[in-house]
Each structure stands twice: as structure tokens, then as C-alpha cells.
Structure 1
Amino acid sequence: MLQVLACGAVVFPGLFFAFKRILPCVFKHWSDADVVLVSERLVSSIHAIMATTAGVLVVSSCWGNVINDRHWLATYFVIWYGVPYMTYDIFAMYLSHYYHFRVKGHEDYKQHSLRTVNCFVRREFLLVLHHIALLTILLPITLFFRNDQGDFFIGCLFLTELSTPFVSLGKILIQLGLQNCWLHKLNGCMVLFIFFMCRIALFPFMYWMYGRHYSIPLYSVPFHLPLSTNIGNSCILAPQVYWFVLLCCKGYRLYKRSPNST
């Protein structure tokens, strides 16, 4: 088990530092901030593809009985790659933050310090909290508190990562100066659609599947579940709604700035 955990702990940092070395050779005009940002996004996309694939396998295998059907990936993907990735990603986000402000010439960012870490946590508080919550809440629930039930729903949560490659592609296109091309506009529409379907509509779908299993209507499902389950789902859903609203606002601003808009 430790060997597999170490594998996940090596894969993501290894990919990150490999991209960090390769990208400056291809894009010689990029700053350190550009290189770190794109490296982080590429690794995030790779993890998202892995998580989505695992989610599809788990959901399709457990479709018949969403409570009791089992699939080994529901538990072991979290251990092998979920925990190492979330831990790595906090570090990668910090590096992206650090180099972004260092390139801009901020005096406090001449070297790493507690001050730069504190600024990062304050600026990206919601993302950092999201990662820590997954490590401290989702991991124990997945491993210890669900009594070998609900692999289907764990697989559904893996599917939330489907939007990540599209979000990352948008960032990379901006870095390449292609923010006005048709691909960036098409990708923006895909981001909104997939983010809504996989991170917001997914939760009513899971409640509906639970209700179907017990032959109860959708509106009765929250009253059939423990209060802690409803609170936990709300805590996961709330930041998704917030980020979706931000994406919509950003998309609207880009549309208003478009030369083709009236």
C-alpha cells in the first residue's frame, strides 16, 4: 500500500517538474509565472482525466444497486492518487501564486517566507479550504465511515473533475495569446455547461438515484438521509455554486468585450 501511495506522490510532482523544465525550452519568452501556471494546469488536467475515468468505471459498475454494489476504485483511487494529488496541488497553487507576484516585482516575493505563504492562504482561502476539507472529511468518510456502502456516489464525486481540463485549456489558451480565437469561445461555453452538469446538477441526480433505490420521491430524499449527509453535501455544493457564478460573470464580461457583440 505504501508503494502505491508513493507512486501517486511521485507521479504528480514528477510531471509538474518535468513540464516546468520542458515548457521554457518550447516557449522561450514565457516568464517563470507562465511556466508554473501552465505546468500546474497540465498536471491538473491529467489528474482530472484519471479521476473521471475512475468515476465512469465505478458508476457504470454500481448502477444496478447504488447502495451495496462495490468497485475497488471507489476506495483505492482516493488512496493511490486522490490524497497525493490534493496535497501536491496545494503546493503547486502556492508556487503559481508566488511566481505570479514575484514576476510583478513585489518586494515581499524575493524569496519564500511565512509572509508569502500567509498571503497565498488569504488570497486563495476558498480553494485551500476545499482541498483541506477533501483530505480531512472525504478521505475518512471514504475509508472508515460508510460501512462499505455507496461506491456509486463516490464514483459520482470523481466525475466532478470532468470540468477541470476545460478550465485548464482556457487558462492555457490565454497564456498562448489565443483568448480571442473561436476555440477559446467554444471552450468557455463547454466550461459553463460541463461545470454546471458535473458539479451542480450532479447532486440532485445523486439524490434522485438514492430515491429510486428506495422507491421514494426526490423531494423526500433529504428527509430520508441523516442530517450530517445533507450538511456535507451542502458544504461541497456551496463553493461549486459560487465558482459557477464567477465563471458566468467572467464569461459575460468577455462577451461584452468581444468586438462581435452589440
Structure 2
Amino acid sequence: MWHLVALGCLFFLGLSFLSATLLRRRCPALTEGQVVCISARVVSSVQAVMAVFSGYVITSSCNHVMKDSHWISKDYVLFGTPYMVYDIYAMYLCYWYKQKDNHKSTFSTVIDFLKKNSLITLHHLVLLLICLPITVFYRKGLGDFFLGCLFLAELSTPFISFAKILSQLKKQDTLLYKINGIIALVTFFICRILVFPFMYWAYGRQYGIDTHMVPFHIPLHCTIANVLLMAPQVYWLSQIINKAAKTMKTE
């Protein structure tokens, strides 16, 4: 088990180092802050592609939504665990570069970062400290199909990351940025919002239950967990929509 975690550490840290090194060599005009932030988005996109591929393999292999399992579900959770730690640090590093001219102490910078990125940081910590132990130790091999569905939610991440890369390059006024924004919005809505009612529909279809009755046939903690996972996604979707609306108004 731990060898997968160690492999994940080496992979994501190595990918970050490699992408940053290539950016420094190929794009010398970029500042160090831009290099760090762009390389972080590259790592995020690669992780998302791997998660989506894993999710597709899992969901397409499970004929029974509860009882069927696939080895990649547990293995990728372990392999991807270091990414959550890396991403928190990468987000802080990007924030530090933006604030370094303000001459704040490290403690003040950390506190400001946590205040402004509290939701995403909490989201990562919940995945690490709560979802990881449940997924690896307490599921007893049940529900791999639903875990695969949650992996598929990462489909929107490469587009969101690409938008951030374009922002770093000051390309917010380009047609490419606008088209990418539309794709990010659509994929986010489908894969991070609609995926939750889809999972209820899939469960109901498996057991011959109407979708709206599924919450009354599954353990209450499952529905509570889904609500807690979905809530930040709804908030982030509203943020994406607001940002898109502001972009349209400035045209």
C-alpha cells in the first residue's frame, strides 16, 4: 500500500520539477512566480486526466453499482493521495509569490492564504483525513462504481487549469480564453453537479427504485456525505458563472 503513496510522491513532485525546469528554459521571459503557478496547473491537469481515465475504467467495468469492484479504484486513491498535499502547498506557493512584495511575515501570509482559500483547503483536507480512510479501509470493496463517478468529476479540471495558465500569460481577452471558459463551465456542471443525481439514478436503476426514493433506501450518512461533497461544487460553479458574466460585461 505505502509503495503506491511513495510512487505518487515521486511522480507529482518530479512532474512539478520537470515542468518548471522546461518553462524556465523555453520561456525565459516568465517570472519565477509565473513558472511556479503554471507548473502547478500542469500537474493539476495531468492528475485530472489520470483520474478521469481511472474513473472511466472503473465505471465501465462495474455492471453492479455496489458489488462489482476494480483494482484501480483503491490503487489510484493511494497513488493520488500525495497530490492533495502537493496541491495545497502549490496553491500557497503561488499565493506567496503574489504577496511577496507586501513584506508580510510568513505567519501572516499563511493566515491570509488560509482565509482566502479556506474552502478549497478544507475540501482537500476532508478528502485526505476523512474520505481517504473510508475509501481504503472501511468500504469493504463496495461502491467502486460511485468512486469511479467521482473520479470522472475531474474532467473539468484541465480546462480550469488552462484558464489559469492563460491568465498568468495575460491572455484573458483572447477568443481561446472565452471558448475554454465555456467548456470549463459546461464540463464542471455536468461532471461535478449532475454526477450526484446520476449516481442516485444509477443506484435506483440497479435496484428498481425511483430516483427520488433512493435517499430513503440508502444509509443516511451516504446522503449527508454527498451533500457535503456537492455543496462546495455548487459554490464554485456560481463563482465560475459570476466570473463569466463579468467577462461578458467588459466586452
> How many angstroms apart in 2 are the aligned matches of 1:117 and 1:128?
12
How many residue pairs align between the two structures?
251
- Structure 2 partner of 1:60: 60
Secondary structure of the 1:180 match is: coil
> How many angstroms apart in 2 are the aligned matches of 1:94 and 1:173?
19
- Structure 2 partner of 1:240: 233
Matched, 1:148 2:141: yes
135-144 or 174-183, which deviates more? 174-183
> How many angstroms apart in 1 are the aligned matches of 2:171 and 2:88?
28
Q: Percentage identity across aligned positions? A: 45
Q: Is the 8 Å Cα contact of residues 4 and 75 (structure 2) preserved in structure 1?
A: no
Unmatched 5+ stretches in structure 1? none
Q: Is the 8 Å Cα contact of residues 42 and 161 (structure 2) preserved in structure 1?
A: yes
> How many angstroms apart in 1 are the aligned matches of 2:74 and 2:162?
29
> How many angstroms apart in 2 are the aligned matches of 1:36 and 1:240?
26
Change (3 A) 1:185 1:162: same
> How many angstroms apart in 2 are the aligned matches of 1:180 and 1:90?
29
- Structure 2 partner of 1:224: 217
Unmatched 5+ stretches in structure 2? none
Matched, 1:88 2:86: yes
187-196 or 176-185, which deviates more? 176-185
Secondary structure of the 1:114 match is: helix
Q: Measure how far apart 1:67 and its partner are.
A: 0.8
- Structure 1 partner of 2:39: 39
User: How high is the TM-score relative to the length of structure 1?
Assistant: 0.92
User: How high is the TM-score relative to the length of structure 2?
Assistant: 0.96
Q: Is the 8 Å Cα contact of residues 171 and 177 (structure 2) preserved in structure 1?
A: yes
Secondary structure of the 2:104 match is: helix
- Structure 2 partner of 1:72: 71
- Structure 2 partner of 1:3: 3
Matched, 1:172 2:165: yes
Cα distance per residue 1:92-140 (max 9 Å; x no partner):
11111111111xx11115xxx3332222111110010000000112111
Cα distance per residue 1:126-183 (max 9 Å; x no partner):
0100000001121112112222110000000101111000001111122223222222
Q: CA-atom RMSD, angstroms?
A: 1.2
